[in-house]
Amino acid sequence: MSSIIRVTREFTFEMSHVLRNYDGPCRNVHGHSYRLFVTVSGVPAMDDSNPKNGMVIDFTELKNIVLRNIVEVFDHCVVVSNDFDSDKMNMMTKTFGNTVVVDYQPTCENLVTDFAMRLRNKIPEGIRLHSLRLYETAKSCAEWYASDNE
């Protein structure tokens, strides 16, 4: 039995951002309780001597990869684009402390793409990063699929 199986793990973190030149309320610093779903695919190990027998990936291993590369970087921080007004950025860094500067407008769509790029090469050999779904609010999310980006 060698079916390709998808496994998903959910992560939550708190993050603030500000959208430069946006014409709505998100032009102000504000925060969200993000939910990130990371899905990988592969063939489960079929070896009775393997302690991971029957698994595509140990959920703990997937958790550690995502915590190290996404959650520990972005949790409880303010994300701002590197082309944001430098005086305001300096003020935010002094006020909020943990500020992550990115080279894009930190929308949900761009964040989920960034997260996929941060994870893509961290997934163990033989397992494929299939998709990410990032909820910015309870009813709004952006999705990234490997098959759309090959």
Phi, psi of 63 (to 5 degrees): -60, -45
The separation between the first and the last C-alpha atoms of the chain, rounded to the nearest angstrom, is: 28
CA neighbours closer than 13 Å in the CB half-sphere of residue 109:
2
- List beta partners, residue 141: 135
- Which structure tokens are listed for 24? 């709505």
Q: Are 132 and 39 in contact (CB under 8 A)?
A: yes
- The topology under which CATH files domain 5-77+107-148 is Tetrahydropterin Synthase; Chain A (3.30.479)
Residue-range domain boundaries for the chain: 5-77+107-148
Confidence at residue 97, expressed as pLDDT on a 0 to 100 scale: 82
Q: Can you tell me the distance from the alpha carbon of 44 to that of 57, in angstroms, rounded to the nearest whole number?
A: 8
Tell me the pLDDT band of 1, cut-offs 50, 70 and 90. Answer: low
Q: Are 42 and 4 in contact (CB under 8 A)?
A: yes
The answer to whether residue 62 scores a pLDDT higher than 80 is yes
Instruction: Provide the 3-class DSSP secondary structure of residue 134.
Output: strand
- pTM for this one? 0.93
pLDDT per residue over 70-79, tens digit each? 999 999 999 9
The answer to whether residue 95 scores a pLDDT higher than 90 is no
pLDDT per residue over 122-147, tens digit each? 999 999 999 999 999 999 999 999 99
Which candidate, 65, 58, 61, places its Cα nearest to that of 115?
Answer: 65
Which candidate, 10, 30, 27, places its Cα nearest to that of 19?
Answer: 27
Confidence at residue 149, expressed as pLDDT on a 0 to 100 scale: 95
| Distance from the Cα of residue 18 to its chain's centroid | 17
